[in-house]
Structure 1
Amino acid sequence: MSWTWEYAFSAVEATRTAPPAFLTEVEHKAAELVRAAEARYLHGRAYTRDDPKGGDITVRGGMFTYQTVVRSECVYVVQITYLGF
């Protein structure tokens, strides 16, 4: 399995009303997080420690919250917040 990212929980619902330009920003940043996680956790499936702490990322138009689940080799976008800036 290779590393991926996906929207989770209420973020899926929020994508239905968020502007496409904002979602593009979120998706680009999520892809960067995937590349970083893939480089840091080379053997993700064999990882035995606790998952790293997630965080908030500011992008043009708002922000999003993410969580990395190493054993699933996935970065989840848990919440998106469109602020219109």
Structure 2
Amino acid sequence: GVNVEQSPSALSLQEGTSSTLRCNFSTTVDNVQWFRQNPGGSLINLFVIVSDTKQNGRLNGTVNSKELYSTLLITASQLEDSATYLCAVRHSAPR
């Protein structure tokens, strides 16, 4: 399995400012997925990142496969960005 650790665990932002969430993993992965969960809502898949960067509106995701982490940058934050953000990784075990 892969150990995955997110930081920070909670974040408060001023509207209009930017912030970065980070997800560290213990081994190389095939891709990273970032999800958003609104209070009481279901999971929304923001993007799947295989390499480099992906963008979804004001959200930017990156993967650094050498240093084994992914980031989610929220730019120009708005009130509606309030949610739980989760990362998941896909790792294919060597056959």
More strand by share: 2
Q: TM-score range by the shorter chain?
A: 0.3 to 0.5
More helix by share: 1
